[in-house]
Amino acid sequence: MENSNPKPHQEELNAIAVRLKELRKAKGYSNYEHIAFDLEMSRSAYWRLETGANFELKTLIKICKLLKVSLEEFFKGIDIPK
C-alpha cells in the first residue's frame, strides 16, 4: 500500500529548491553542473538540492557565499506554506 502522506516539510523544501534554482540562474550559472563544480560538490549532490532534498544549513551558507547573497536575501520572497 502506498503512503498517501507526503514527506514532512516537503512543500517548504520545494520552495527552497525553487529559490536555489532562481538565484543560480540570476547569478549567471545557466547549468547546475557549473555551480556544483564551484561548490566542490558532485553534480548529483547539487541536483538533489534543486529537486527538494533536505540538506544542512552549512551547505546553504556555502551556496549563499558563492552567490554573494545573504541568508536574508535568500529567503526573501519564499512563501512558506502554512
Helices (H) and strands (E) in the chain, counts: 5, 0
| Domains of the chain as residue ranges with CATH | 10-73 (1.10.260.40)
Residue 81, pLDDT score? 64
Is the separation of the CB atoms in 74 and 23 below 8 Å?
yes
Q: Give per-residue pLDDT as tens, 4-56.
A: 556 778 889 999 999 999 999 999 999 999 999 999 999 999 999 999 999 99
Measured in whole angstroms, the distance separating CA 37 from the mean position of its chain's CA atoms is 15
